[in-house]
Amino acid sequence: MRRAAGSSARTRHTSADRGPHDTNVTRDDRRPLRERILAGETLFGLFLDLGSPMSAEMASRAGYDWLVIDLEHGAATEADLLGLLHAVEAGGAAALVRPQSGERLRIGRALDMGARGIVVPRLNSADEAREAVTFLRYPPEGGRGVALRARGADLGAITHDRVGEVNRRIVGLVQIESTGALADANAIAAIDGVDVLFVGPADLSHSLGVPGRFTEPLYREALGRVIAACRAHGKAAGILLYDTAAVPAYLELGFTFVGIGADAALVADGAARALAAMRPTAAK
């Protein structure tokens, strides 16, 4: 198993000074997220579904390495994106965006606003992934539109001769959530600029005809194919999990870029648990 992330440059906790109730999560955010991914660190994140800057900042301050602002399934729209990016950045996590689709304009808008990476959804082949990756970087490495006064280019601080610096820090994540993407997993992992193959368990299981049955051999074999492709090309295997008890087993399989649910799920679960705990008391 690859090594876990190190300690934060701002908040360092060793096993000796952590108390039994210390919930601070250590995070090595001194290096860009893409560098840490390609170095093989184990990185934990959360999807932001609520569209709430307060929720985004609280999650970031909790110590997650990365947070995905979900414009595909979450409540936020592009109009909310700038405030959410500010909130994530205030807490120190890397802000990623999953746009509504992998179109050039959708990806470019998120990057211009300041996203540090893009989770590209609903791709079905290596050719589609190859095209989407060109939208992530300025020429000559890609076909991203050049607007250097945008937040994503440090509001004009990046000059024309330094756009390569921006290119190098952008994280490219391609979701593996269809049979077509799964069939092309090895070819997708070989694409320069694809840093993470990110499994969407719900969509992939439905595509395979075993909806929500994550212990089925067919689904497990699919995970193995994704992990093997990533290992062959030095990329990270990612996945979204809602059961924290299952995370260690997936780390052992080889996943190193792990989403631990979403802020909406944490609110729903916490609210349900709190009420359930009070029901017996009220009945007395």
Q: What is the CATH number of the domain that holds 62?
A: 3.20.20.60
- Indicate whether 10 belongs to any domain: no
- Indicate whether 26 belongs to any domain: no
**Active site residue: 13, 73, 86, 233, which one?**
73
CA 176 to chain centre: 13
Mean pLDDT of 173-202: 98
- Asked about 73 being catalytic, the answer comes back as yes
Using CB atoms within 10 A of its CB, is residue 77 exposed (0-12), middle (13-18) or buried (19+)?
A: exposed
- Indicate whether 17 belongs to any domain: no
Number of domains the chain contains:
1
- Indicate whether 75 belongs to any domain: yes
- Indicate whether 265 belongs to any domain: yes
pLDDT at residue 27, as a whole number: 58
Query: How is the chain split among helix, strand and coil, in percent rounded to 5?
Result: 45, 15, 40
- Indicate whether 170 belongs to any domain: yes
pLDDT at residue 280, as a whole number: 78
pLDDT at residue 284, as a whole number: 62
- Indicate whether 275 belongs to any domain: yes
Decide: 261 and 47 in contact? Cβ < 8 Å.
Answer: yes
- Indicate whether 19 belongs to any domain: no
Residue 237, pLDDT above cutoff 80? yes
Residue 10, pLDDT above cutoff 60? no
Domain assignment of residue 152, given as a range:
33-283
Element (H, E) at 50: none
Name the DSSP class of 24: P
Over pLDDT 90: what percentage of the chain?
87
pLDDT at residue 279, as a whole number: 85
What is the per-residue pLDDT across 42-87, written as a single tens digit (0 to 9) for each?
A: 999 999 999 999 999 999 999 999 999 999 999 999 999 999 999 9
